[in-house]
Amino acid sequence: MPVVNRLSISEFTDFADAFVHANTPISLLNGLVRSSGMRKLRERDINVLLQRCDEVTARPKRNAYIMGLAYAILCAILLHARESSDKINFDETRLDWGQAIRAYVSVRSLRRVLNLACLAWSLAFRWARTT
């Protein structure tokens, strides 16, 4: 069984601070991605993250620490899915900004693909003109 790096108190606090100080879904995403614990979350298996997200978002009482962790797990799942091009099925509607964050991560992924396609087309066009 692989060893899982546990999050420290300061990493939980970073997630809570990002949640408390965010005023838009994008600012929350940026704050969480820059936090120290995001690396540890992104190293975890996607199935473990999905299970943990379900557990955390099903809690009836939520404070800033729980919400920060829930959004951090959501971001880790979305970034993992974007990098692997896997289809991930989960319910992000349990979090108020879940759908907005998912849409933003998807748009950034699409924008990157379109930029690479434009670059490839441009290089091919230049090459064709020189031959």
Euclidean distance between CA atoms 40 and 52, whole angstroms: 14
pLDDT digits (tens, 9 = 90+) for 16-75: 999 999 998 988 998 999 998 999 998 898 889 999 988 998 888 889 999 999 999 999
Euclidean distance between CA atoms 125 and 114, whole angstroms: 16
Note the pLDDT of residue 102: 86
Helices (H) and strands (E) in the chain, counts: 6, 0
Of all residues in the chain, what percent carry a pLDDT higher than 90? 33
Sign of the dihedral defined by the CA atoms of residues 58, 106, 81, 16, in that order: negative
Is 113 exposed, middle or buried (CB count within 10 Å of its CB: 0-12, 13-18, 19+)? exposed
